[in-house]
Chains A and B, each alone.
Chain A
Amino acid sequence: MQPISTKPAPPSDDKRWRIVTATMRRHGFRPDALVETLHSVQEAFGYIDDVAMRFIARGLQLPPSRVYGAATFYNYFMLKPQGEHTCVVCLGTACYIKGASDLLAQLEAVTGVKPGETTPDKQVSLLTARCMGACGLAPVAVLDGEVHGTADAKSVSAKLEEWMRHD
Chain B
Amino acid sequence: MIEERPLFIPEQNIVLEHNGDIDPEVLEDYSKIEGFTALNHVLTEMTPPEVIDQVSRSGLRGRGGAGYPTGLKWQTVAKAPGTPKYIICNGDEGDPGAFMDRNVMEAYPFKVLEGMTIAAYAIGASQGFLYVRAEYPLAVQRLKNAIRQMEKHNLLGKNIAGTPFSFDVDVRLGAGAFVCGEETALIASIEGRRGNPRPRPPYPAERGLFGCPTLINNVETFANIAPLLRKGAEWFASIGTEKSKGTKVFALSGRIARAGLIEVPMGTTLREIVFDIGGGIPDGKAFKAVQTGGPSGGCIPSDYLDMPVDYESLLKLGSFMGSGGMIVMDETSCMVDVARYFMEFCMSESCGKCVPCRVGTAQMYQLLTKIVNGDATLNDLALLESLCDLVRNTSLCGLGQGAPNPVLSTLRYFRDEYIAHIVDKRCPAGVCPVHKREHQEVNA
Contacts and interface: CB of A to CB of B under 8 A. Distances in A.
Interface of A: 30-36, 38-39, 60, 66, 69-70, 73-77, 91-98, 129-138
Nearest first, the 6 A-B pairs at minimum CB distance are A92-B96, A34-B192, A76-B176, A74-B175, A93-B97, A75-B176
Given A94-B253, A96-B341, A33 B327 contact: no
Contact of B192 (A32, A92, A138): A32
Contacts of B99: 131, 133-136
Contact of A94 (B97, B178, B189, B191): B97
B165 interface: no
A131 B176 contact: no
Interface of B: 93-99, 102, 134-136, 172-178, 189-195, 210, 251-255, 259-261, 291, 294, 325, 327, 329, 333, 341-342, 345, 349, 351
A135 B193 contact: no
A91 B172 CA distance: 25
B47 to A, nearest CB: 33
B195 A74 contact: yes
A75 B190 CA distance: 16
A136 B98 CA distance: 10
A77 B135 contact: no
Nearest to B171: A36
A136 B253 contact: yes
Given A96-B341, A97-B327, A133-B93, A73 B177 contact: yes
Given A93-B96, A94-B327, A133-B99, A38 B194 contact: no
Nearest to B192: A34
Contact of B195 (A31, A73, A130, A137): A73
A70 B193 contact: yes
Given A32-B191, A33-B192, A93-B325, A135 B177 contact: no
A38 B175 contact: yes
Contacts of A35: 172-173, 175, 189-190, 192
A130 to B, nearest CB: 5
Contacts of A136: 99, 251-253, 259-261
Given A34-B193, A35-B173, A129-B135, 16 more contacts: A32-B191, A33-B192, A35-B190, A36-B192, A39-B175, A76-B134, A77-B175, A77-B176, A92-B97, A93-B253, A93-B341, A94-B325, A96-B341, A130-B345, A136-B252, A138-B253
Contacts of A73: 177, 194-195, 351
Contacts of B134: 39, 76
**A interface majority secondary structure:** helix
Contacts of B291: 93
A135 B175 contact: no
Nearest to B261: A136
A95 B192 CA distance: 32
A33 to B, nearest CB: 6
B172 A135 contact: no
Contacts of A69: 194
B78 to A, nearest CB: 25
A129 B174 CA distance: 14
Nearest to A101: B341
Contacts of A137: 259
Contact of B253 (A31, A70, A130, A135): A135
29 contacts: A31-B191, A32-B190, A32-B192, A35-B173, A35-B190, A36-B173, A66-B193, A69-B194, A70-B193, A70-B194, A73-B194, A73-B351, A74-B195, A77-B175, A92-B97, A93-B96, A93-B253, A93-B327, A94-B97, A94-B254, A98-B254, A98-B255, A131-B95, A133-B135, A135-B96, A135-B98, A135-B99, A135-B253, A136-B260
Q: Looking at B95, B97, B174, B261, which has the most chain A CB atoms within 10 Å of its CB?
A: B97
A97 B333 contact: yes
Contact of B96 (A34, A38, A74, A130): A130
Contact of A75 (B98, B175, B191): B175
B341 A36 contact: no
Contacts of B98: 131, 133, 135
Nearest to B351: A73
B175 A130 contact: no
B435 to A, nearest CB: 15
A142 to B, nearest CB: 10
Nearest to B251: A135
A60 B190 CA distance: 15
A30 B170 CA distance: 15
B26 to A, nearest CB: 23
A134 B96 CA distance: 10
